[in-house]
């Protein structure tokens, strides 16, 4: 009986240490690999062009998002369908985007020059869009997980998985 008590104490201590080690509070999430350019590229068969979703995260807390069309052979940008810029804040594995400029192409065209884009009104009283970050494939992929928002049906789209372009 005397031998069982030290073993039980040792087992309890080991379980406690392992439980604490496996707890991920997000406070130690490494943001060093987050900064730089990220892209998702999908071939748009109707136009025979690449549809490119780009995200640039700068160390100063600013970001740019864009949706462009590119020639798949040359990489030349054909035009924009969306451009957004603003600021972001990080807390653990959570990122919050706050748009300061949001531009879209009108309904008459799929894409256009930056000058063809129309500025959308930004709700200044709204909350920033918060999402969770998840690295994949040793940091070469970045997933931004945003909970579905019933008011904004666009927020119910699948979570984007970006590939690293530059650091």
E strand or H helix at 8: helix 4-22
**Percent of the chain clearing pLDDT 90 (strictly above):** 59
**Percent of the chain clearing pLDDT 70 (strictly above):** 76
Residue 151 has pLDDT above 60, yes or no: no
Residue 50 has pLDDT above 80, yes or no: yes
The 8-class DSSP code of residue 65 comes to E
3-state helix/strand/coil string of 85-120: EEEEEEECCEEEEEEEEEEECCCCCCCECHHHCEEC
Tens of pLDDT, residues 122-149: 876 677 888 999 989 988 999 999 887 6
- Report pLDDT for 20: 38
Among the listed residues 106, 99, 100, 41, the one whose alpha carbon sits nearest the alpha carbon of residue 68: 41
Tens of pLDDT, residues 12-37: 444 444 443 333 433 456 788 899 99
Pairwise CA distance, residues 54 & 162, whole Å = 8
Among the listed residues 124, 120, 127, 164, the one whose alpha carbon sits nearest the alpha carbon of residue 149: 127
């Amino acid at each position: 009986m005397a031998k069982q008590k030290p073993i039980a104490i040792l087992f309890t201590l080991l379980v406690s240490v392992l439980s604490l080690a496996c707890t991920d509070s997000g406070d130690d999430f490494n943001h060093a690999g987050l900064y730089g350019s990220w892209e998702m590229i999908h071939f748009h068969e109707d136009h025979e062009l690449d549809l490119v979703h780009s995200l640039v995260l700068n160390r100063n807390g600013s970001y740019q998002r864009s949706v462009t069309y590119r020639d798949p052979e040359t990489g030349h940008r054909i035009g924009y369908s969306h451009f957004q810029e603003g600021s972001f804040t990080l807390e653990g594995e959570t990122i919050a985007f706050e748009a300061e400029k949001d531009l879209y192409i009108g309904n008459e065209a799929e894409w256009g020059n930056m000058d063809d884009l129309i500025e959308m009104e930004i709700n200044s009283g709204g909350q920033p869009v918060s999402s969770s970050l998840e690295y994949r494939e040793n940091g070469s992929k970045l997933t931004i997980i945003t909970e579905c928002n019933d008011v904004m049906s666009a927020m119910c789209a699948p979570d984007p998985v970006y590939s690293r372009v530059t650091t």
